[in-house]
Amino acid sequence: MRAMVIPVHGGPEVFELRETPDPECRPDQVRIGVEFAGINFTDVRNRRGDGLGVPPMTVGIEVAGRVLETGSEVEGFELGEPVAALCGGGGYAEQVIVDAQRVVALPSSLTGDPVAACVTGVLPSAINLLRHGAKVRPGESILFHGAAGGVGSVFAQAARHLGLAETIGTVGRGSKIDPALGYGYARVLLRDRFVEGVLDLTDGRGVDVVFDPIGGDVRARSWEVLADFGRLVHFGNASHEPEVVPPADALRARGLGYVGYSGGQHAVRDLETVRASWVEAVDLVATGQIRIDVSEVFALEDASAAHEMLERGDTVGKLVLAV
Ligand SMILES: NC(=O)c1ccc[n+]([C@@H]2O[C@H](COP(=O)([O-])OP(=O)(O)OC[C@H]3O[C@@H](n4cnc5c(N)ncnc54)[C@H](OP(=O)(O)O)[C@@H]3O)[C@@H](O)[C@H]2O)c1
């Protein structure tokens, strides 16, 4: 099969299109013929060597396609059936092997649609960040950094789905304000002035929860926009800056909380809950309740170009590889 292989960790240029042996399917696994692979910032981290995997390897954690083979212990999937999956890697390839528990069926309305490659990634992440990371309560106010990105593009919609009224978003550049508003944010602020903006919008109170996938100075300053008893949810570090030490005195005095969330770890520790969120996400997208905006589809062999765009912060919504 053809696969985009990373022979060594490094920049986007390290990708090589190679002919590799078809992967072997264990009794509890499913072989998927990949039609689309979602591109995530996690893939960038794994490619650089800041995440998981040892080269030579193939990155890619979410795919959609058709069942090519089921292991002898697998029940409930038929050959040729359209499916999506969250895999532990290997998604940028014509075939991937996935544990059957990490595969969900797709309705015919999503078959052949690149959006199908995003139903196990960004939307479940958004739902689980809200529900299990921050444990949000109705009426709480929210700030999300990176409102026009992949997770950002579904986050305000997921918050509304869970009964929260309005979400404020931040973006890194002015050209992303309109797309972010289109993704359902009540207000969108430029990140370099977000502290003043949030305090202004909330009459100085701040918000109950900040969701931060950026880190560095953005995370350090996010404490300033938290209301008393608020929580800061750390779920990524796109800035690649050293981790921020939370201000212990302010945490104690103001009752603030510092929460971490990893969708990958959540799936390892409580697959049943995460699997339920994949099924929920498929339904929300298939019924049109939540829109995933696939802004660009690249050919498999153009993964380098897609990673370059994502790393430059040039993208809005989701990027997908057509395999
Ligand atoms: N913990 C989890 O379960 C989980 C799950 C999914 C994603 N994540 C994290 O969430 C973040 C978003 O992931 P995504 O796949 O949806 O990506 P994305 O938001 O589509 O792209 C990353 C965005 O981060 C912002 N950014 C800020 N500083 C950056 C920098 N130095 N380099 C590159 N981008 C920078 C840019 O938006 P602006 O222009 O607005 O600055 C950029 O568009 C990533 O940090 C990812 O690791 C975590």
Q: Name, in order, each residue with C-beta under 8 angstroms of 187's C-beta and a sequence gap of 6 or more.
A: 166, 168, 169, 197, 201
State residue 21 phi and psi, 5-degree precision: -65, 145
**Residue 314: how many CB atoms within 10 A of its CB?**
11
Provide the 3-class DSSP secondary structure of residue 309: helix
Provide the 3-class DSSP secondary structure of residue 252: helix
Q: How far is the CA of 19 from the centre of ligand 1 (A)?
A: 31
Residue 214 CA to residue 267 CA, distance in Å, equals 22
Ligand 1 neighbours, Cβ below 6 Å, are 40-42, 122, 125, 146, 148-152, 171-173, 176, 213-214, 235-236, 238-240, 261-263, 310-311, 313, 315
Contact 291, 268 (CB under 8 A): no
Q: How far is the CA of 78 from the centre of ligand 1 (A)?
A: 36
DSSP string computed for 265-296? HHHHH-HHHHHHHHHHHHHHHHTTSS---EEE
What is the 8-class DSSP label of residue 9?
S
- The reported pLDDT for the residue numbered 142 is 98
User: Which tokens go with 202?
Assistant: 């909330």
| Ligand 1 pocket mutation, candidates 151, 177, 259, 265, criterion most atoms within 8 A of CB | 151
* pTM of model > 0.85: yes
**Residue 163: how many CB atoms within 10 A of its CB?**
12
For the chain, domains (ranges, CATH) are: 2-119+292-322 (3.90.180.10), 122-264 (3.90.180.10)
| Ligand 1 pocket mutation, candidates 41, 219, 243, 292, criterion most atoms within 8 A of CB | 41
User: Which tokens go with 47?
Assistant: 């490619």
- The reported pLDDT for the residue numbered 244 is 84
**Rounded mean pLDDT for each run of 10 residues along the chain, 323 residues in total:** 98 98 96 98 96 95 98 97 96 98 97 97 98 96 98 98 93 98 98 98 98 97 97 96 91 96 96 98 98 98 98 97 98
**Helices and strands per DSSP (H, E), number in the chain:** 10, 15
- The reported pLDDT for the residue numbered 166 is 87
Q: How far is the CA of 202 from the centre of ligand 1 (A)?
A: 25
**Residue 155: how many CB atoms within 10 A of its CB?**
30
Q: Name, in order, each residue with C-beta under 8 angstroms of 34's C-beta and a sequence gap of 6 or more.
A: 63, 64, 65, 91, 93, 94, 95, 96, 323
The minimum-distance atom of ligand 1 relative to the CA of 236 is: 45
Q: How far is the CA of 133 from the centre of ligand 1 (A)?
A: 17
Q: How far is the CA of 134 from the centre of ligand 1 (A)?
A: 18
Q: How far is the CA of 81 from the centre of ligand 1 (A)?
A: 32
